[in-house]
Amino acid sequence: MLLIQCPFCGPRDQVEFSYGGDAGVPRPADPAALSDDKWNAWLNERDNPAGEHDELWQHSMGCRRWIGVRRNTLSHEVVSSWALQPAKTA
């Protein structure tokens, strides 16, 4: 099990989070303009890097915020994590 450092809640078990995908893949500017083949390629064709990799995770069973996580895909070590947006104040 991974221990992920939530920037808002502190260290938490992976089971509290939902994986959101590769943090380095930008969304298409106009998804509706893509052909079915290009949309399928964007959704399904990804590199499978060995080593450190940036990912998106949502603390779905905690603060519900999205965070960035740098994880080593070989050792599964969580190298770092960061807030994607500043916390809102009341």
The pLDDT tens digits of the residues spanning 25-82 come to 888 999 999 999 999 999 898 888 899 999 999 999 999 999 999 999 999 999 999 9
Domain hosting residue 63, numbered range: 52-84
Query: Encoding tokens for residue 30?
Result: 């106009």
Please report whether residue 67 resides in a domain: yes
Report pLDDT digits (tens) over 9-28.
999 999 999 999 899 888 89
Please report whether residue 44 resides in a domain: no
Residue written as token pair 């590199």: 47
What is the arrangement of strands in the sheet containing 52-58, beginning at the earlier edge strand?
Answer: 18-22, 52-58, 66-72, 78-83
Cα(17)–Cα(11) distance, integer angstroms: 11
Polymer length of the chain: 90
Which pLDDT value is given to residue 72? 96
Please report whether residue 15 resides in a domain: no
- How many domains would you assign to the chain? 1
Please report whether residue 29 resides in a domain: no
Query: Encoding tokens for residue 58?
Result: 């949502």
